[in-house]
Each structure stands twice: as structure tokens, then as C-alpha cells.
Structure 1
């Protein structure tokens, strides 16, 4: 019994450390982008590639992770993912130019893509169904704190030490998690893992890479050369072929048939657009705040920190607001609130810092309601047998939304075609922030068309009447 307790505690520690490290990395980099750009003498539009390469590799290996864990063992794959992420973090810190940093960020994304699904599988196999609700309440706090603390920690490290330390920070955390995992994690291999969908994997990897590469290069060079246009065209053709192939594969890596469910399709699109708007804004804002308004990295981190606090508050209130307002009204109201705050940030970005922090809190609060409601409602009609594939597809769409937001806002910044070393004008950044708001407008229009929840109150009354009978 004592051994079993130690194993459960160790699994929790390893899972929290791995998720904390991965979640921290999603926000800590943004405040360091101006410092990295200055060190490598690259324009702001080129800085998006640091996040794009990471997010693309993370997205592409999410669906592969579950199969590899079942086929080769969850402990082996999880420890390998931790090792890749930790080693890639060290190499990122040692990078001597932008190309090296982008390459090692891609490797970092590969490790992160395996950590979440395989770590969750280990956690669920260790704890019973009855233990999981209490476990979830315990683990949510440290994992939710990571993205909130990322901008502050990143700003402090950049100002006090160097941008390289935002990557070196992962080394002791990763090594500690590896040591505990090596001793306490149990191996599990699934006898019937099935065949690997190599066609879907190759088509998705190359298609998304070429498409986003073309978008990023067009932003960097301020226009589209024949080579960039060809890359984008080939990428789109491969993605079209991916859709055809995955619809006919018996057990596809990316199960596109799930989009036949209207609720899942609608919530996925809202989640994608919300992620694009939020991550795009969090990419452009630190660059503008430091390069144009000449604020320190720590000051920038303290300002964007309030967005994550707003997300945490929204996560606690969302079940109550969903019950009171119903799904459609909650989505419409929260998205309209987020659009308003985005516009206010765009117009008053040079105003009092505390006013901006209030706006940032509003961004997190309103989008937290949107994303939380979309996540809960997306799987309402998904069958249990399809749940794993549905959650993977939903996570992929959210990450792809992040890539899309960063890439398009980088393209807007690239329209000024600023030489390295010369600042992008404030007005161009404001155009970029307004572009982030456009994603939320699209999400709001989709929410307006949602029909499933228009009879929310009527359905509740019918359910109560059926129970009474």
C-alpha cells in the first residue's frame, strides 16, 4: 500500500513538472522576442518563426503520440519526450543564429507534442475513475499557474540575465522529472495498437509545413516570390490530398469524419479562431510594447501576466455562467466582450500601464469563458469510442489556430518591409492587433449561427419533465 502511494505521488510530480515546463514555454518566449531579434539582428516580422516552428511540430506529433505510447510503451515514450524537450531547450539557449534557434525550437515542439497525451494516459492508468475528479482539482492549479507566470519569469530573466535563460530554466526541471520518472513510472504496452497511418502523417507534416513556411517567408520578405508561392501551393495541394486520404482510411491518424457532428465542428471552429486571435495578440503585443514604447521585458511580462489571471478566474466562473446564459448567449457575449477589449488595447496601447493591465485581464476573462464553454460543449454528442480521436483533433485545431494567428500577424508586420535594426511603426502594430480582433469577429459570427443551444431553456424543462415522469 505504501509503495502504491509513493508511485501515485511520483506520477503526479512527474506529470505536473512536465506539464508545467511545457505550459511555461508557451508564454515565456513572447517577452524575449525583442531581445532575441536584437541579438540576431532580425526584423520583428521574422520573430514569428520561433513560435510557428514549435507549434507546427507540436501539432503534428500530437496524434502520433498515443499510438507510439501504446506500441512502444508509455514510460519509454514519455521519458524520451522529456529528454528531447530538455535537450532541445539547452540547445535553444546555446543557439548562435536564428536558423539554429528555429531548428531547435522544432525539436522542442516534438517533445512537447508527446508529453501531453502520453502523460495523460499514464495519469489515467495510475488513478481510478473515482480518484480523478479530486486529482484534477489538485493538479489544475500548478499547471494553470505556468502560463500566468511565464511572462513575469521571462521578463525577469531577460532583464537580469539573458534571453538564453528562458530556455536554460527547463534543464533542471526536466532532469528532475526524468530521474523520478525513471524510478517510479510503470511501463505499459498495448498489445493491439493497430497499424500506423503513415500516409496521413507524411501528408499532414509536409502539407502544414510548406503552407506555414510560405506564409512566414512572405512575412519576412515583405512579399511572395515564385518560390514562396510554389511552396504554399504545394502545401495546400498536400492538405487537400490529406483530407481525401483520411476520409477513406479505416483508422485514420486525423479522423475528419468527426466534423459531421455539427456541435463538434462549430465548437472546433470557434476554438480555432479564438486561439488565433489570442496567440496572435500575445505575439504582437510584447514586440510593440518593447520595440516601439521602449518598455522593459519585465514590465511587459507584468502587463501580459494579467491575461493569464483572467483566464484562471474565467475557468472557475464559466460553469455558472454557462448554466445561467446558455451556450449560444455565453459565446456571443464573451466574444463581443473580447472584441471590445482587443479594440481598446489597439487604440489605447500607449496609455497608462494599469489601464492596459485591466484590458489584459479582460482579454483573459472573456476568452476564458469562450474557450471553456467550447471545450465542454464540443464533445456533447461524441460517442465514447471516438472520444480519444475527438480530443486529439480538437487540440490540433486549437494549436493550428495559434500558428495561423502568429503567421498572419507576422505577415501584417512584414508589410512595412522594415530593414533589420529599424523599428516597425506603431501604426503597423495597431493594424496587426486589429487583425487579431478580426479572428474573434469570425468566431462571433459562427456563434450567432449556432442553433443547438437556442432552445437551451426548453431542453432543460423537457429534461426535468421526463425525470419527473
Structure 2
């Protein structure tokens, strides 16, 4: 008899893996100045450390679902954990920038496989009616890891070495690998189909070029030849991908999933919510440090309550969803979050820090309700056979949404700064950008108001279709 049931195993493995991946995404920025100094390189050159990671992640995202379906979700998930952990160790041992860049690319590939396959395992294990309850633990990697990342990075960089921001992944990764190897069940889809080569040849470079353009546009300028070429190229490839994938029987990116009203609506809401949240988290710290002249530590202490709000929301969301239903809960949460963003745009030199902490706490609290409910409802009607492709599609559009939000905020700052004498964004520019982030949430709200609870009921009969078939376990 096994010491753990499969639901416990999946919860532990998923939360631990996502925590490690989410924290890694937020630790590198704090350490970049030290890396630049140690390797005697320029900031623009060192920025490739992040670019390679993001592009590699974007390339691997589209194939994650098919690989898990074809070769087994346990096998691919553990391979991804192994790649991520080994690359983390190599990043810590890197003795020059080229090696660090190479190992970050490998790390990004592991991260690109990790999230979609992990979500597929999770939603195949828990039927729709049980998913609201597990959201109470699933928020940990989303809320806590990004908030703790900069703090841990600062401590390691100052007291030990920047290399420890990578070494910390090693024990976590090894424990997940061993635990998953011993107790995680395998799942293989017999109807995975052949590998969609045309879809891969369009989606991989299309995603890579698009993410590169959106992430580097704010740094190099969107009129820069390489950014402009990447953006146009990515857009052309992704447009071609839409036409090609609609003709393929078993596509890599299954756009036919948008035929399900709940999946389509929730995906759109998620995209704009991600754009708004990431846009706000990009603009507000910049404003607090650059325009109001506060330290990085002060900024971290101001923004940390947003994570606490997300955590509290995760505990209350299942009850709220049951009482209000998806439409009313998501709509009210998005409206209130947009209001918090608008109030944050009034921040000035005389603003009370505790009042700002309260606003950020409430922003996290309301967005936690919205994001948590959206993630639960998105997959309510998705069958077990389609779950791998559904989580892949969801993560692809979420990644684009996050990058799009930051890019638009950067454009707003750039446009507004043209009126400043020193060409640096002033307080008005930051305030306008925060209102832009609120605009993303209001756009998501428009789609939330059009949804119907009947299309997105987490207690629908689809629960029987979503539960793993007995014959699918290997």
C-alpha cells in the first residue's frame, strides 16, 4: 500500500515545482548588477541572460502538451525538473557569461515544459468539482515565490554569492525528482497522434520572435531594426499558424478548443488579466524608485502585501465561487482590482506607505479571486484526452499576455516621457501607465460580463469526462 494517495502526491509535486520555477524567474534581476561586475561586461550584453531564458521557454511551450500525451506526463514532467535542476547547478558553476547564457537557455527549456505538463497532471487528477478546494494551495507558487524571489536574491547576492540564487534550486529539484519518481502515476494518451511538424515549425519561432520583440522593445525601442523585424516575423508566423492548425486533425496548438464557450471566454479574460497584473507590477516599483526616489528595499516592502492578498483570496475563493457563481465573482473582482489600480495611480511623494500597502493588498485580494476562479473554470469542460493541449494553449496565450502588458506599459512611459526635458518618465507618465494597466482589467471585465454561468459551471456533467480513464494509467 502506498503511503500517499495520488491527489496528495500531485499537489506536493506540482506546488513545489511551480514554486521553484516561479521564484527563479524573479531572482535574476536583483543579481544582474553583480554578474555584470564579476564578468566585466555591459548591461546590454548581460541582458541576454534573461532573453535566452525567455526565448527558450517560449520555444518549448507549444510542444509540452504533445510530449506529455505521447510519452507520458510523469516522464516529461520529471525530465523537465531534471533539466531545470541540472541547468541551475551549471548556472551556478558558470565561469564566463557565454556559459551562463547557454545554461539559462537549457533552464528555460525545462521551464517551458514544466508548467503545461504540470497543469495537465493536476487537472486530470482532480475533477472539476474538486478544483476550487485545491486552489488554496496552488496559489503558493503564484503569490509567494515571485514576492520572495527578490528578497532571497538580495540576501544571497550580498551575503554569499549570486551563484546561490541557482544553487537553491538543486535540493528542491532533487527532492521533487525522487518523490515524483517513487509516487507519481504515469498517464499516456493513446490518441496523442503524430507530431505536428508544420505546427512546430511555425509556433516555435513565432513564439520566440514575439516574446523577444515584446520583452526587448521596452529596452531597445520598438523602432529598433532587430525588434521590429522580430515582431513582424513573429506576427506573420503566428498568423500562418492559425490557418495551418485549423486544417490539422491533431494539431500542436489546438485552436478548436476555443469552440468551448467557457474555455474561450476564460482564456481572453486570463490574457488581459495577466497583461494588467504584470503591467502594474512592472510600472509601480519603477515609479516608487525612479520617480519618488525610494530604495529597492522600501519598494519590496510596499509591494509584498500584494502577495498576501493573493494568499488570502485563495482561501476564500472556493466559497465565494460557490455563492456568487463565476460571472458575478470574476466581474466584481476585476472591477474592484481595476479601482485599486486607479487609486495607485494617485501615488505621490506625500502618500502614506501603509495606505499604499493596503491598496496593493486589496489589489492582490481581488485579483486572486478573479485569477483563481478563471483558472478553475477554464478547464471545467475539457476532457482528459484534450487536457494536455488545453493547458499548452492556455499557457501560450498567458505568456504572450504577460509580455504584451509590460510592452504596452513601456510604450506608454516612452510616449509620455517625450514631453519631459530629460527624456525620463515623470510621475505623470507612471500614473498614466497605471491607468493603462487598469484598462486591461476593464477590458477583461467586458468579457466577464458576457459569460454565462451555465457555460462555466464547475459542477457540470463534464466532471465525468475530465476524470482520467482507468485504462490510461500505465
Q: TM-score, normalised by structure 1?
A: 0.78
CA drift at 1:112: 1.6
Aligned equivalent of 2:205: 206
SS at 2:3's partner residue?
helix
* TM-aligned CA distance change 1:451 to 1:286, over 3 Å: closer
Q: In structure 2, do the counterparts of structure 1 residues 191 and 329 end up closer, same or farther at CA, with 3 Å as the change threshold?
A: closer
Change (3 A) 1:384 1:157: same
- Residue in structure 1 matched with residue 470 of structure 2 by the alignment: none
**Conserved 8 A contact 1:220-1:414:** no
Query: Aligned partners of 1:48, 1:428: CA distance in 2, in Å?
Result: 25
Tell me the residue number matched to 1:465: none
Residues 258, 62 of structure 1: CA spacing in aligned structure 2 closer, same or farther, 3 A cutoff?
same
Partner of 1:276: 275
Confirm or deny: 8 A CA contact 1:341 1:362 kept in the other structure: yes
| Distance in 1 of aligned mates of 2:184 and 2:316 | 35
Q: Is the 8 A contact 1:59 1:400 kept in 2?
A: no
State how 1:14-25 maps to structure 2 within 5 Å: 14-25=13-24
Cα deviation digits, residues 317-369 of structure 1 (max 9, x gap): 22333344443333332222111211222221542322221111111111112
Query: Are the equivalent residues in 2 in contact too, given 1:62–1:396 (CA < 8 A)?
Result: yes
2-structure distance, mates of 1:451, 1:12: 30
> 1:320 is matched with which residue?
319
**Do the aligned residues in 2 keep the contact of 1:57 with 1:113 (CA within 8 Å)?**
yes
Q: How does 1:1-80 map to 2 (within 5 A)?
A: 1=1, 4-5=2-3, 14-29=13-28, 42=43, 54-55=53-54, 57-80=56-79
- 1:216-238 deviation line (CA, Å, top 9, x unaligned): 44432335145543332222111
8 A contact 2:116–2:391 mirrored in 1: no
Partner of 1:262: 261
The CA deviation at 1:441 is 2.3
After TM superposition, the structure 1 = structure 2 runs for residues 393-404 of structure 1, keeping only pairs within 5 Å, are: 393-404=393-404
Partner of 2:359: 359
1:348 is matched with 347
| Distance in 2 between residues matched to 1:245 and 1:106, nearest whole Å | 28
1:444 counterpart = 2:445? yes
1:83-117 superposed Cα distances (whole Å, 9 cap, x missing partner): 32123334555678988766654432321222234
Which has the larger displacement, 398-407 or 422-431?
422-431
Q: Tell me the distance in 2 between the aligned counterparts of 1:34 and 1:343.
A: 33
User: What is the CA deviation profile of residues 30-81 of structure 1, one whole-angstrom value per residue up to 9, with x for unaligned ones?
Assistant: 66678778986548xx999876764554354344224323444555433331
Contact (CA 8 Å) 2:31, 2:162: kept in 1 or not? yes
- Structure 1 window deviating more from structure 2 (347-356 vs 49-58): it is 49-58
Aligned to 1:250: 249
Aligned residue-pair number: 447
Report if aligned partners of 1:31, 1:286 keep a CA contact under 8 Å in 2.
no
**RMSD of the alignment, in Å?**
4.2
CA separation of 1:294/1:41 partners in 2, compared to 1, >3 Å: closer, same or farther?
Answer: farther
Find the aligned partners of 2:431 and 2:161 in 1 and give their Cα distance. 28
Q: Take 2:78 and 2:140, find their aligned partners in 1: how far apart are those partners?
A: 21
The aligned runs of 1:169-184 (5 Å cut-off) are 169-181=168-180
Contact 1:158–1:297, Cα closer than 8 Å, also in 2: no
What residue number does 2:223 align with? 224
Query: How far, CA to CA, are the matches of 2:5 and 2:319 in structure 1?
Result: 36
Unaligned runs of 5+ in 2: 461-474
Question: Residues 63 and 105 (structure 1 numbering): CA distance in 2 closer, same or farther, change over 3 Å?
Answer: same
Which sits farther off after the overlay, 144-153 or 168-177? 144-153
Aligned match of 1:463: none
Q: For residues 187 and 95 of structure 1, what CA distance do their matches in structure 2 show?
A: 35
CA distance in 2, matches of 1:11, 1:372: 18
Q: Is the 8 A contact 2:189 2:385 kept in 1?
A: no
Per the alignment, residue 467 of structure 1 pairs with none
> Matches of 1:153 and 1:340 in 2, distance apart?
31
Residues of 2 paired with 1:22 and 1:134: CA distance? 23
Distance 2:33 2:273 in 1: 25
Matched, 1:430 2:431: yes
Residues 159 and 298, structure 1, Cα contact 8 Å, conserved in 2: no
2:406 paired residue number: 406
Deviations 1:245-301 (A, max 9, x none): 110100111111122233322221111000111112223333443444444444333
CA 1:185–1:332 in structure 2 vs 1: closer, same or farther (change >3 Å)? closer
Distance 1:268 1:360 in 2: 25
Shift of 1:148: 4.8
